[in-house]
Structure 1
Amino acid sequence: MASLEVEEKPLEVKQNTIWGESKKMWAIAGPAILVSVSQFSIGFVTVAFAGHLGELELAAVTITTNVIEGFVFGIMLGMGSALETLCGQAVGAGQHNMLGIYLQRSWIITGITALCLTPCYLLATPILNLLRQDKAMSELAGKYCKMVIPQFFAYAMNFPIQKFLQSQTKVWVMTIISIIGLGCHVLLNWALVTKLELGLLGAAMAGNISWWLQVIAMVIYVVAGFFPDSWTGLSLLAFKSLWGFVKLSLASAVMLCLELWYFTAIILMVGYLKDPTLAVDSISIWLVCHF
Protein backbone atom coordinates (compact mmCIF):
# COMPACT_ATOMS: atom_id res chain seq x y z
CA MET A 1 0.00 0.00 0.00
CA ALA A 2 2.83 2.33 0.89
CA SER A 3 4.38 1.82 -2.52
CA LEU A 4 1.07 2.58 -4.20
CA GLU A 5 0.72 5.84 -2.29
CA VAL A 6 4.23 6.85 -3.32
CA GLU A 7 3.37 6.20 -6.98
CA GLU A 8 0.07 8.08 -6.85
CA LYS A 9 1.40 11.28 -5.31
CA PRO A 10 3.41 12.44 -8.33
CA LEU A 11 0.33 11.98 -10.53
CA GLU A 12 -1.78 14.06 -8.16
CA VAL A 13 0.85 16.75 -8.09
CA LYS A 14 0.97 16.81 -11.90
CA GLN A 15 -2.83 17.05 -12.13
CA ASN A 16 -2.91 19.91 -9.64
CA THR A 17 -0.11 21.67 -11.51
CA ILE A 18 -1.83 21.28 -14.87
CA TRP A 19 -5.14 22.48 -13.45
CA GLY A 20 -3.47 25.44 -11.75
CA GLU A 21 -1.61 26.48 -14.89
CA SER A 22 -4.77 26.03 -16.96
CA LYS A 23 -6.72 28.35 -14.67
CA LYS A 24 -3.98 30.97 -14.89
CA MET A 25 -3.94 30.72 -18.68
CA TRP A 26 -7.71 31.03 -19.03
CA ALA A 27 -7.79 33.91 -16.58
CA ILE A 28 -5.90 35.89 -19.22
CA ALA A 29 -6.97 34.15 -22.44
CA GLY A 30 -10.70 34.17 -21.65
CA PRO A 31 -11.05 37.95 -21.30
CA ALA A 32 -8.67 38.48 -24.24
CA ILE A 33 -10.96 36.33 -26.41
CA LEU A 34 -13.96 38.41 -25.34
CA VAL A 35 -12.09 41.58 -26.31
CA SER A 36 -11.31 40.23 -29.78
CA VAL A 37 -14.87 38.99 -30.31
CA SER A 38 -16.36 42.29 -29.14
CA GLN A 39 -14.14 44.42 -31.38
CA PHE A 40 -14.55 42.20 -34.43
CA SER A 41 -18.31 42.24 -33.84
CA ILE A 42 -18.41 46.01 -34.35
CA GLY A 43 -17.90 45.50 -38.08
CA PHE A 44 -20.50 42.74 -38.22
CA VAL A 45 -23.09 44.87 -36.42
CA THR A 46 -22.49 47.60 -39.00
CA VAL A 47 -22.94 45.09 -41.82
CA ALA A 48 -26.16 43.81 -40.22
CA PHE A 49 -27.68 47.29 -40.04
CA ALA A 50 -26.44 48.15 -43.54
CA GLY A 51 -28.34 45.10 -44.79
CA HIS A 52 -31.59 46.92 -43.97
CA LEU A 53 -30.63 49.83 -46.21
CA GLY A 54 -30.45 47.87 -49.46
CA GLU A 55 -28.39 45.39 -51.46
CA LEU A 56 -25.99 48.00 -52.82
CA GLU A 57 -25.38 49.54 -49.37
CA LEU A 58 -24.73 46.12 -47.86
CA ALA A 59 -22.27 45.29 -50.64
CA ALA A 60 -20.50 48.64 -50.22
CA VAL A 61 -20.08 48.20 -46.46
CA THR A 62 -18.96 44.60 -46.90
CA ILE A 63 -16.32 45.40 -49.48
CA THR A 64 -15.12 48.33 -47.36
CA THR A 65 -14.93 46.21 -44.21
CA ASN A 66 -13.28 43.18 -45.79
CA VAL A 67 -11.16 44.66 -48.59
CA ILE A 68 -10.07 48.21 -47.73
CA GLU A 69 -10.31 47.92 -43.96
CA GLY A 70 -9.22 44.29 -44.06
CA PHE A 71 -6.04 45.33 -45.86
CA VAL A 72 -5.10 48.14 -43.48
CA PHE A 73 -6.46 46.36 -40.37
CA GLY A 74 -3.97 43.55 -40.83
CA ILE A 75 -1.08 45.97 -41.16
CA MET A 76 -2.13 48.04 -38.13
CA LEU A 77 -2.72 44.97 -35.97
CA GLY A 78 0.65 43.55 -36.98
CA MET A 79 2.49 46.82 -36.32
CA GLY A 80 0.89 47.02 -32.88
CA SER A 81 1.66 43.39 -32.08
CA ALA A 82 5.39 44.09 -31.92
CA LEU A 83 4.66 45.67 -28.56
CA GLU A 84 3.58 42.28 -27.22
CA THR A 85 7.11 40.90 -27.46
CA LEU A 86 8.83 43.97 -26.06
CA CYS A 87 6.40 44.46 -23.18
CA GLY A 88 6.65 40.79 -22.25
CA GLN A 89 10.44 41.04 -22.13
CA ALA A 90 10.29 44.24 -20.07
CA VAL A 91 7.93 42.70 -17.52
CA GLY A 92 10.09 39.56 -17.31
CA ALA A 93 13.20 41.67 -16.73
CA GLY A 94 11.46 43.83 -14.14
CA GLN A 95 11.87 46.96 -16.30
CA HIS A 96 8.32 48.22 -15.87
CA ASN A 97 9.44 51.79 -16.55
CA MET A 98 10.07 50.82 -20.19
CA LEU A 99 6.46 49.78 -20.81
CA GLY A 100 5.25 53.36 -21.12
CA ILE A 101 8.17 54.19 -23.43
CA TYR A 102 7.39 51.21 -25.65
CA LEU A 103 3.71 52.20 -25.74
CA GLN A 104 4.51 55.73 -26.87
CA ARG A 105 7.02 54.43 -29.39
CA SER A 106 4.40 52.10 -30.81
CA TRP A 107 1.88 54.94 -31.03
CA ILE A 108 4.38 56.94 -33.07
CA ILE A 109 4.97 54.03 -35.46
CA THR A 110 1.30 53.10 -35.87
CA GLY A 111 0.32 56.77 -36.22
CA ILE A 112 2.80 57.31 -39.05
CA THR A 113 1.66 54.04 -40.63
CA ALA A 114 -1.95 55.23 -40.46
CA LEU A 115 -1.04 58.46 -42.24
CA CYS A 116 0.78 56.49 -44.96
CA LEU A 117 -2.22 54.18 -45.45
CA THR A 118 -4.87 56.94 -45.48
CA PRO A 119 -4.73 57.16 -49.32
CA CYS A 120 -6.18 53.64 -49.38
CA TYR A 121 -9.38 55.17 -47.98
CA LEU A 122 -9.29 58.36 -50.03
CA LEU A 123 -8.65 56.46 -53.28
CA ALA A 124 -10.84 53.46 -52.51
CA THR A 125 -13.04 53.90 -55.60
CA PRO A 126 -10.19 53.94 -58.16
CA ILE A 127 -8.48 51.08 -56.31
CA LEU A 128 -11.61 48.93 -56.46
CA ASN A 129 -12.18 49.87 -60.11
CA LEU A 130 -8.59 48.85 -60.81
CA LEU A 131 -9.38 45.51 -59.20
CA ARG A 132 -12.34 45.22 -61.61
CA GLN A 133 -15.07 45.42 -59.00
CA ASP A 134 -18.61 46.56 -59.85
CA LYS A 135 -18.60 50.31 -60.59
CA ALA A 136 -21.71 51.25 -58.60
CA MET A 137 -20.52 49.21 -55.65
CA SER A 138 -17.02 50.71 -55.86
CA GLU A 139 -18.40 54.25 -56.04
CA LEU A 140 -20.54 53.84 -52.91
CA ALA A 141 -17.77 51.97 -51.08
CA GLY A 142 -15.39 54.84 -51.84
CA LYS A 143 -17.78 57.34 -50.28
CA TYR A 144 -18.23 55.16 -47.22
CA CYS A 145 -14.46 54.70 -46.86
CA LYS A 146 -13.98 58.44 -46.50
CA MET A 147 -16.60 58.50 -43.74
CA VAL A 148 -14.84 55.87 -41.62
CA ILE A 149 -11.32 57.36 -41.69
CA PRO A 150 -11.62 58.48 -38.01
CA GLN A 151 -12.00 54.90 -36.80
CA PHE A 152 -8.94 53.92 -38.81
CA PHE A 153 -6.85 56.26 -36.66
CA ALA A 154 -8.49 54.75 -33.59
CA TYR A 155 -6.91 51.43 -34.63
CA ALA A 156 -3.50 53.10 -34.43
CA MET A 157 -3.99 53.79 -30.72
CA ASN A 158 -6.09 50.76 -29.86
CA PHE A 159 -3.74 47.90 -30.74
CA PRO A 160 -0.65 49.18 -28.87
CA ILE A 161 -2.61 49.99 -25.74
CA GLN A 162 -4.14 46.51 -25.78
CA LYS A 163 -0.68 44.92 -25.72
CA PHE A 164 0.37 47.30 -22.94
CA LEU A 165 -2.55 46.20 -20.76
CA GLN A 166 -2.24 42.50 -21.64
CA SER A 167 1.41 42.41 -20.61
CA GLN A 168 0.33 43.49 -17.13
CA THR A 169 -2.68 41.12 -17.04
CA LYS A 170 -5.15 44.02 -16.91
CA VAL A 171 -7.42 42.21 -19.32
CA TRP A 172 -10.72 42.42 -17.46
CA VAL A 173 -10.78 46.22 -17.62
CA MET A 174 -10.15 46.01 -21.35
CA THR A 175 -12.89 43.38 -21.67
CA ILE A 176 -15.47 45.51 -19.88
CA ILE A 177 -14.60 48.53 -22.02
CA SER A 178 -14.88 46.46 -25.23
CA ILE A 179 -18.23 44.93 -24.29
CA ILE A 180 -19.65 48.33 -23.32
CA GLY A 181 -18.28 49.71 -26.59
CA LEU A 182 -20.07 46.98 -28.56
CA GLY A 183 -23.31 47.69 -26.71
CA CYS A 184 -22.97 51.40 -27.49
CA HIS A 185 -22.32 50.54 -31.12
CA VAL A 186 -25.57 48.57 -31.37
CA LEU A 187 -27.53 51.44 -29.78
CA LEU A 188 -25.85 54.04 -31.99
CA ASN A 189 -26.63 52.06 -35.15
CA TRP A 190 -30.23 51.65 -34.06
CA ALA A 191 -30.53 55.38 -33.36
CA LEU A 192 -28.61 56.76 -36.34
CA VAL A 193 -29.39 54.19 -39.04
CA THR A 194 -32.85 52.92 -38.11
CA LYS A 195 -34.51 55.81 -36.27
CA LEU A 196 -32.88 58.89 -37.77
CA GLU A 197 -32.48 57.18 -41.16
CA LEU A 198 -29.03 58.63 -41.82
CA GLY A 199 -28.07 55.66 -43.97
CA LEU A 200 -24.37 54.90 -44.46
CA LEU A 201 -23.44 58.20 -42.83
CA GLY A 202 -25.16 57.02 -39.64
CA ALA A 203 -23.39 53.65 -39.82
CA ALA A 204 -20.03 55.38 -40.25
CA MET A 205 -20.73 57.78 -37.37
CA ALA A 206 -21.68 54.86 -35.11
CA GLY A 207 -18.44 53.05 -35.90
CA ASN A 208 -16.30 56.15 -35.42
CA ILE A 209 -17.87 56.98 -32.06
CA SER A 210 -17.76 53.38 -30.79
CA TRP A 211 -14.09 52.90 -31.59
CA TRP A 212 -12.99 56.22 -30.15
CA LEU A 213 -15.02 55.71 -26.98
CA GLN A 214 -13.09 52.50 -26.33
CA VAL A 215 -9.71 54.06 -27.09
CA ILE A 216 -10.35 57.13 -24.95
CA ALA A 217 -11.56 54.97 -22.05
CA MET A 218 -8.40 52.82 -22.17
CA VAL A 219 -6.11 55.86 -22.46
CA ILE A 220 -7.77 57.44 -19.42
CA TYR A 221 -7.29 54.20 -17.52
CA VAL A 222 -3.58 54.12 -18.38
CA VAL A 223 -2.77 57.75 -17.57
CA ALA A 224 -5.04 58.05 -14.50
CA GLY A 225 -2.39 56.71 -12.13
CA PHE A 226 -3.21 53.00 -12.07
CA PHE A 227 0.26 52.22 -13.51
CA PRO A 228 2.71 54.34 -11.48
CA ASP A 229 5.68 52.13 -12.41
CA SER A 230 4.99 51.58 -16.11
CA TRP A 231 3.45 54.94 -17.08
CA THR A 232 5.47 57.95 -15.96
CA GLY A 233 4.19 60.40 -18.57
CA LEU A 234 5.25 61.41 -22.06
CA SER A 235 8.94 61.04 -22.78
CA LEU A 236 11.37 61.96 -25.56
CA LEU A 237 12.88 58.49 -25.16
CA ALA A 238 9.95 57.27 -27.27
CA PHE A 239 11.67 58.77 -30.34
CA LYS A 240 14.86 56.77 -29.83
CA SER A 241 15.57 53.41 -31.51
CA LEU A 242 12.55 53.81 -33.76
CA TRP A 243 14.12 51.89 -36.66
CA GLY A 244 14.65 48.76 -34.58
CA PHE A 245 11.04 49.00 -33.45
CA VAL A 246 9.89 49.41 -37.06
CA LYS A 247 11.73 46.25 -38.15
CA LEU A 248 10.13 44.21 -35.39
CA SER A 249 6.73 45.72 -36.19
CA LEU A 250 7.05 44.90 -39.90
CA ALA A 251 7.89 41.29 -39.14
CA SER A 252 4.76 40.99 -36.98
CA ALA A 253 2.67 42.74 -39.63
CA VAL A 254 3.71 40.33 -42.39
CA MET A 255 2.75 37.26 -40.32
CA LEU A 256 -0.69 38.59 -39.41
CA CYS A 257 -1.47 40.10 -42.81
CA LEU A 258 -1.06 36.80 -44.64
CA GLU A 259 -3.81 35.34 -42.45
CA LEU A 260 -6.24 38.28 -42.53
CA TRP A 261 -5.87 39.00 -46.25
CA TYR A 262 -7.29 35.57 -46.99
CA PHE A 263 -10.78 37.03 -46.52
CA THR A 264 -9.89 40.08 -48.59
CA ALA A 265 -8.98 37.79 -51.49
CA ILE A 266 -12.29 35.92 -51.15
CA ILE A 267 -14.34 39.14 -51.37
CA LEU A 268 -12.37 40.32 -54.41
CA MET A 269 -12.87 37.03 -56.24
CA VAL A 270 -16.58 37.04 -55.43
CA GLY A 271 -16.77 40.53 -56.93
CA TYR A 272 -15.88 39.04 -60.33
CA LEU A 273 -19.10 36.99 -60.47
CA LYS A 274 -22.02 37.75 -62.76
CA ASP A 275 -24.15 39.51 -60.11
CA PRO A 276 -21.43 41.00 -57.85
CA THR A 277 -23.79 42.92 -55.55
CA LEU A 278 -25.80 39.83 -54.64
CA ALA A 279 -22.67 37.69 -54.42
CA VAL A 280 -20.90 40.10 -52.06
CA ASP A 281 -24.09 40.35 -49.95
CA SER A 282 -24.19 36.57 -49.67
CA ILE A 283 -20.53 36.22 -48.74
CA SER A 284 -20.94 38.91 -46.08
CA ILE A 285 -23.56 36.76 -44.35
CA TRP A 286 -21.23 33.77 -44.56
CA LEU A 287 -18.42 35.78 -42.98
CA VAL A 288 -20.67 36.77 -40.07
CA CYS A 289 -21.58 33.11 -39.49
CA HIS A 290 -17.95 32.05 -39.90
CA PHE A 291 -16.69 34.34 -37.15
Structure 2
Amino acid sequence: MTAPTTFRIGGDLEVRRLGFGAMHLRPETAEDRAACVAVARRAVELGVTLIDTAHMYGWGGNEDLLAEALHPYPEGLVLATKVGIRRTTSGEGWRHAGEPADLRAQVDEALLRLRLDRVELLQLHRLDPGVPVPDQLGALRDLRDEGKIGRIGLSEVTTAELAEARAVVDIASVQNRYNLLDREHEPVLQACQDAGIAFLPWRPSAAGQSGARSSAIAQVAKELDATPTQVALAWLLAHSPVIVPIPGTSSVAHLEENLGADAVHLTQDQYERLTR
Protein backbone atom coordinates (compact mmCIF):
# COMPACT_ATOMS: atom_id res chain seq x y z
CA MET A 1 0.00 0.00 0.00
CA THR A 2 1.39 3.37 -1.02
CA ALA A 3 -0.14 6.31 0.86
CA PRO A 4 -0.12 9.92 -0.37
CA THR A 5 2.86 11.83 1.03
CA THR A 6 1.24 15.28 1.15
CA PHE A 7 -2.08 16.82 2.15
CA ARG A 8 -3.64 20.21 1.42
CA ILE A 9 -4.92 21.66 4.69
CA GLY A 10 -7.99 23.77 4.05
CA GLY A 11 -7.79 22.63 0.45
CA ASP A 12 -4.80 24.80 -0.43
CA LEU A 13 -2.02 24.63 2.18
CA GLU A 14 0.14 21.71 1.07
CA VAL A 15 2.26 20.01 3.73
CA ARG A 16 4.17 16.77 4.05
CA ARG A 17 1.90 14.34 5.85
CA LEU A 18 4.52 13.48 8.44
CA GLY A 19 4.90 16.61 10.51
CA PHE A 20 6.63 17.37 13.80
CA GLY A 21 5.07 18.04 17.18
CA ALA A 22 7.29 20.45 19.12
CA MET A 23 5.62 19.85 22.50
CA HIS A 24 8.66 18.08 23.97
CA LEU A 25 11.05 20.94 23.19
CA ARG A 26 11.00 22.54 26.63
CA PRO A 27 14.59 23.29 27.65
CA GLU A 28 15.53 23.88 31.27
CA THR A 29 19.23 24.61 30.75
CA ALA A 30 21.33 26.28 28.07
CA GLU A 31 22.60 22.84 27.03
CA ASP A 32 19.03 21.58 26.73
CA ARG A 33 18.12 24.62 24.66
CA ALA A 34 20.93 23.98 22.20
CA ALA A 35 19.77 20.38 21.83
CA CYS A 36 16.16 21.45 21.27
CA VAL A 37 17.21 24.00 18.65
CA ALA A 38 19.17 21.23 16.91
CA VAL A 39 16.10 18.96 16.82
CA ALA A 40 13.92 21.68 15.30
CA ARG A 41 16.51 22.49 12.65
CA ARG A 42 17.05 18.81 11.85
CA ALA A 43 13.30 18.36 11.34
CA VAL A 44 13.33 21.03 8.65
CA GLU A 45 16.50 19.56 7.10
CA LEU A 46 14.68 16.24 6.82
CA GLY A 47 11.80 17.80 4.91
CA VAL A 48 9.22 18.54 7.59
CA THR A 49 6.89 21.30 6.40
CA LEU A 50 4.40 21.33 9.32
CA ILE A 51 5.47 22.01 12.91
CA ASP A 52 2.85 22.00 15.66
CA THR A 53 3.25 24.17 18.75
CA ALA A 54 1.01 25.93 21.28
CA HIS A 55 1.01 28.71 23.84
CA MET A 56 0.51 26.02 26.50
CA TYR A 57 3.83 24.36 25.61
CA GLY A 58 6.10 26.22 27.98
CA TRP A 59 3.63 29.13 28.15
CA GLY A 60 5.08 30.72 25.08
CA GLY A 61 8.55 29.27 25.54
CA ASN A 62 8.07 26.66 22.82
CA GLU A 63 7.05 29.30 20.30
CA ASP A 64 10.04 31.45 21.29
CA LEU A 65 12.39 28.50 20.82
CA LEU A 66 11.05 27.67 17.36
CA ALA A 67 11.50 31.28 16.26
CA GLU A 68 15.05 31.27 17.62
CA ALA A 69 15.83 28.02 15.81
CA LEU A 70 14.14 28.59 12.47
CA HIS A 71 13.53 32.29 11.78
CA PRO A 72 13.74 33.51 9.07
CA TYR A 73 11.56 30.58 8.09
CA PRO A 74 12.26 28.67 4.88
CA GLU A 75 9.65 28.90 2.17
CA GLY A 76 6.91 26.34 2.60
CA LEU A 77 7.35 25.79 6.35
CA VAL A 78 4.08 26.03 8.29
CA LEU A 79 4.08 26.73 12.02
CA ALA A 80 0.70 25.83 13.50
CA THR A 81 -0.03 27.06 17.00
CA LYS A 82 -2.89 26.89 19.47
CA VAL A 83 -4.68 29.37 21.74
CA GLY A 84 -7.58 29.19 24.17
CA ILE A 85 -5.77 28.28 27.38
CA ARG A 86 -4.15 30.50 30.01
CA ARG A 87 -1.74 29.61 32.80
CA THR A 88 -2.91 29.60 36.42
CA THR A 89 -1.18 29.00 39.75
CA SER A 90 -3.86 26.64 41.07
CA GLY A 91 -5.65 23.45 40.10
CA GLU A 92 -4.28 21.86 36.94
CA GLY A 93 -2.15 24.91 36.20
CA TRP A 94 -4.34 26.13 33.35
CA ARG A 95 -7.81 27.42 32.58
CA HIS A 96 -9.97 27.84 29.54
CA ALA A 97 -9.62 31.25 27.91
CA GLY A 98 -12.12 31.51 25.09
CA GLU A 99 -13.47 35.02 25.54
CA PRO A 100 -13.17 36.85 22.20
CA ALA A 101 -10.98 39.65 23.60
CA ASP A 102 -8.65 37.09 25.19
CA LEU A 103 -8.41 35.02 22.00
CA ARG A 104 -7.53 38.15 20.06
CA ALA A 105 -4.80 39.01 22.60
CA GLN A 106 -3.44 35.46 22.50
CA VAL A 107 -3.17 35.51 18.72
CA ASP A 108 -1.29 38.81 18.83
CA GLU A 109 1.07 37.36 21.45
CA ALA A 110 1.69 34.27 19.31
CA LEU A 111 2.48 36.41 16.27
CA LEU A 112 5.07 38.32 18.27
CA ARG A 113 6.71 35.20 19.69
CA LEU A 114 6.78 33.40 16.35
CA ARG A 115 7.86 36.58 14.50
CA LEU A 116 5.03 36.20 12.01
CA ASP A 117 2.49 38.54 10.47
CA ARG A 118 0.06 35.67 9.99
CA VAL A 119 -0.42 32.19 11.46
CA GLU A 120 -1.33 29.91 8.57
CA LEU A 121 -3.03 27.37 10.87
CA LEU A 122 -4.39 28.57 14.23
CA GLN A 123 -6.07 25.93 16.37
CA LEU A 124 -8.35 26.39 19.36
CA HIS A 125 -6.65 24.27 22.01
CA ARG A 126 -9.92 23.60 23.83
CA LEU A 127 -13.45 24.89 23.40
CA ASP A 128 -14.28 27.02 26.44
CA PRO A 129 -17.45 25.58 28.04
CA GLY A 130 -18.18 29.00 29.57
CA VAL A 131 -18.29 30.88 26.26
CA PRO A 132 -20.80 30.26 23.44
CA VAL A 133 -19.15 28.43 20.55
CA PRO A 134 -20.28 31.10 18.01
CA ASP A 135 -18.47 33.74 20.09
CA GLN A 136 -15.22 31.77 20.19
CA LEU A 137 -15.20 30.74 16.54
CA GLY A 138 -16.59 34.10 15.49
CA ALA A 139 -13.58 35.81 17.07
CA LEU A 140 -11.20 33.55 15.16
CA ARG A 141 -13.20 34.11 11.96
CA ASP A 142 -12.80 37.86 12.41
CA LEU A 143 -9.05 37.45 12.89
CA ARG A 144 -8.93 35.34 9.75
CA ASP A 145 -10.80 38.01 7.83
CA GLU A 146 -8.28 40.58 9.10
CA GLY A 147 -5.43 38.46 7.75
CA LYS A 148 -3.87 37.44 11.07
CA ILE A 149 -4.98 33.82 10.63
CA GLY A 150 -4.92 31.77 7.47
CA ARG A 151 -6.99 28.75 8.54
CA ILE A 152 -8.80 27.69 11.71
CA GLY A 153 -8.54 24.35 13.49
CA LEU A 154 -9.86 22.68 16.63
CA SER A 155 -8.40 20.36 19.25
CA GLU A 156 -9.98 17.68 21.44
CA VAL A 157 -13.52 17.91 20.05
CA THR A 158 -16.43 15.54 19.52
CA THR A 159 -18.33 15.11 16.28
CA ALA A 160 -21.13 17.29 17.66
CA GLU A 161 -18.71 20.07 18.62
CA LEU A 162 -17.07 19.87 15.21
CA ALA A 163 -20.46 20.23 13.53
CA GLU A 164 -21.38 23.19 15.75
CA ALA A 165 -18.09 24.92 14.96
CA ARG A 166 -18.47 24.30 11.22
CA ALA A 167 -21.81 26.08 11.32
CA VAL A 168 -19.89 29.23 12.31
CA VAL A 169 -16.72 29.04 10.20
CA ASP A 170 -14.79 26.70 7.91
CA ILE A 171 -12.67 24.27 9.93
CA ALA A 172 -9.40 23.20 8.33
CA SER A 173 -8.06 20.76 10.93
CA VAL A 174 -8.84 18.76 14.05
CA GLN A 175 -6.21 17.63 16.54
CA ASN A 176 -7.37 14.76 18.78
CA ARG A 177 -5.55 11.93 20.54
CA TYR A 178 -5.47 8.93 18.20
CA ASN A 179 -3.21 6.03 17.31
CA LEU A 180 -3.33 2.39 16.25
CA LEU A 181 -3.96 1.26 19.85
CA ASP A 182 -6.31 4.11 20.84
CA ARG A 183 -9.12 4.78 18.38
CA GLU A 184 -11.64 6.45 20.67
CA HIS A 185 -12.01 9.32 18.23
CA GLU A 186 -12.63 7.20 15.13
CA PRO A 187 -16.03 8.92 14.60
CA VAL A 188 -14.30 12.31 14.59
CA LEU A 189 -11.73 11.03 12.10
CA GLN A 190 -14.55 9.77 9.88
CA ALA A 191 -16.30 13.14 10.04
CA CYS A 192 -13.04 14.83 9.05
CA GLN A 193 -12.49 12.41 6.18
CA ASP A 194 -16.01 12.99 4.89
CA ALA A 195 -15.43 16.76 4.93
CA GLY A 196 -11.81 16.78 3.72
CA ILE A 197 -10.60 18.20 7.05
CA ALA A 198 -7.04 17.45 8.15
CA PHE A 199 -6.89 15.16 11.19
CA LEU A 200 -3.71 15.72 13.23
CA PRO A 201 -3.44 12.87 15.75
CA TRP A 202 -1.42 13.66 18.84
CA ARG A 203 0.41 10.79 20.55
CA PRO A 204 0.32 9.08 17.11
CA SER A 205 2.73 6.28 18.02
CA ALA A 206 1.32 5.52 21.51
CA ALA A 207 4.29 7.25 23.13
CA GLY A 208 6.71 4.84 21.46
CA GLN A 209 5.23 1.82 23.24
CA SER A 210 3.47 0.26 20.25
CA GLY A 211 5.72 -2.77 19.91
CA ALA A 212 5.75 -3.53 23.62
CA ARG A 213 1.95 -3.37 23.79
CA SER A 214 1.11 -5.32 20.63
CA SER A 215 2.68 -8.52 19.32
CA ALA A 216 1.03 -7.85 15.94
CA ILE A 217 2.87 -4.55 15.60
CA ALA A 218 6.14 -6.17 16.66
CA GLN A 219 5.64 -8.96 14.10
CA VAL A 220 4.92 -6.60 11.21
CA ALA A 221 7.94 -4.50 12.20
CA LYS A 222 10.09 -7.61 11.99
CA GLU A 223 8.67 -8.50 8.58
CA LEU A 224 9.43 -5.03 7.22
CA ASP A 225 12.78 -4.52 8.97
CA ALA A 226 11.27 -1.40 10.52
CA THR A 227 10.69 -0.27 14.09
CA PRO A 228 7.32 -0.65 15.83
CA THR A 229 7.02 3.14 15.95
CA GLN A 230 7.50 3.35 12.19
CA VAL A 231 4.88 0.65 11.66
CA ALA A 232 2.37 2.49 13.88
CA LEU A 233 2.93 5.71 11.92
CA ALA A 234 2.78 3.89 8.58
CA TRP A 235 -0.59 2.44 9.61
CA LEU A 236 -1.90 5.95 10.29
CA LEU A 237 -0.76 7.14 6.87
CA ALA A 238 -2.50 4.17 5.24
CA HIS A 239 -5.63 4.36 7.37
CA SER A 240 -6.99 7.67 6.07
CA PRO A 241 -5.70 10.19 3.53
CA VAL A 242 -6.65 13.11 5.82
CA ILE A 243 -4.43 11.93 8.70
CA VAL A 244 -1.38 14.17 9.19
CA PRO A 245 0.61 12.67 12.09
CA ILE A 246 2.71 15.03 14.22
CA PRO A 247 4.99 12.74 16.25
CA GLY A 248 7.02 14.65 18.81
CA THR A 249 10.41 14.07 20.38
CA SER A 250 13.35 15.90 21.88
CA SER A 251 15.84 13.45 20.32
CA VAL A 252 17.37 13.71 16.87
CA ALA A 253 17.62 9.92 16.67
CA HIS A 254 13.92 9.48 17.43
CA LEU A 255 13.06 12.27 15.00
CA GLU A 256 14.90 10.47 12.23
CA GLU A 257 13.17 7.21 13.16
CA ASN A 258 9.76 8.86 13.05
CA LEU A 259 10.31 10.54 9.71
CA GLY A 260 11.49 7.27 8.20
CA ALA A 261 7.94 5.96 8.54
CA ASP A 262 6.78 7.30 5.21
CA ALA A 263 9.23 4.91 3.53
CA VAL A 264 7.54 1.95 5.26
CA HIS A 265 4.88 0.47 2.99
CA LEU A 266 2.42 -1.99 4.46
CA THR A 267 0.96 -4.77 2.37
CA GLN A 268 -2.82 -5.07 2.37
CA ASP A 269 -2.51 -8.13 4.59
CA GLN A 270 -0.28 -6.31 7.07
CA TYR A 271 -2.62 -3.34 7.17
CA GLU A 272 -5.62 -5.58 7.83
CA ARG A 273 -3.80 -7.52 10.55
CA LEU A 274 -2.86 -4.29 12.30
CA THR A 275 -6.36 -2.89 11.92
CA ARG A 276 -7.83 -6.01 13.55
TM range (shorter): under 0.3
Structure showing greater radius of gyration is: 1
User: If the length of structure 2 is used for normalisation, what is the TM-score?
Assistant: 0.24
| More strand per residue | 2
TM-score under structure 1 length normalisation? 0.23
Bigger fraction of residues in helix: 1
Relative contact order: is structure 1 or structure 2 higher (C-alpha 8 Å, sep ≥ 6)?
1
